[in-house]
Every structure is written in structure tokens, then in C-alpha cells.
Amino acid sequence: MTGTLWPMITLDLAYVASYWNQTGFDLWEEVNSSSFFTTAVQHRSLREGIALANKIGNTTNVANWTTQAANVLCFLQSYWSDTFIKSNTGGGRSGLDANSILTSVHTYSSNAGCDAKTFQPCSDKALAGHKAVVDSFRGSLYPINSGVASNVGVAVGRYKVRSLSITSIR
């Protein structure tokens, strides 16, 4: 592993450590901005890389990766809006997006508990974000959810969009 995979892993981690703060496309490849999903995955990849480097005894880049992981984690906090997680920083959408729910699940760590800084699924921030995304789909915009009580689940998509009628698609 150290002779074959480790050099490739090192290149990937070096790329993340160097370019994590560049904008790119969101999870849906629609919005060119900073993305909560991308930032969280970059943080997790650096942390996992550090753990692997320590385990195999190849710690040459660990100091840099540790510094950059701390910077990424700090930036990750900027997606919190005091009531929900902004899934992206641009694109003209509200930022309420299933991206935030998928991120918490994808970056789940059994060692992290309910850590709010990494938005673990059971953290207060992830749960508040989940509720905000679900609530954004309530109401008359989506007929399937119209009239559903507030204590009952509703159908949820990627993000809230204006309703399209069949005639407007033609």
C-alpha cells in the first residue's frame, strides 16, 4: 500500500491542501461558488489522510495538512446562518438545499459524537438545517405537500424551485 497507493493519496491530499479555498461547482454541478458539501468533504479527507499518514509512519506532510484542515474547519463554520446551513454561497438560490443533509450523512464519524463544528447528523446545527430544508418544501408551491400538517413529513427535493406547469415546459 505504501509503495503504490500512498503516493497517489499524497498527491490528492496535497491538491486539497493547496486548493481547498478555490470556488468550484456545488454538489449538483449547477452553481459556481463555495459549497458546503465540498468544504466538509475536503476537511474530512485531510483528517483521514493525517490519520493514515500517522498509522503508516509517513508524516512528512502532516504538519501542512493539519494546518490546512484547521483552516478548512474554520471556513466550514461560515456556512452556518444562525438558523440553517447555507449549502452554497452563490447561484441566486436561498442556500436551503438537501446538500446540507447529504453532507452530514456523508461526513458522519462515529468518533465525532454530535459535534456541531463538523455538522454531525445528530448535532443541533445539522438537525436545525435538516428541519429548515424540509420546511422549505411545505406549503402551496408543491401541490403534493399542500395541507400537510407541520408535524408530518413532506416530499423533499434537492432545493426549492418555482413550480413549473406542463404548459410552461413545452
Residues with a catalytic annotation lie at 26, 29
Contacts of 107 (CB under 8 A, 6+ apart): 40, 41, 43, 44, 118, 119, 120
DSSP code of residue 156: -
- Closest C-alpha among 69, 52, 41 to residue 10: 52
- Closest C-alpha among 126, 66, 64 to residue 101: 126
Q: What are phi and psi of 148, to 5 degrees?
A: -75, 130
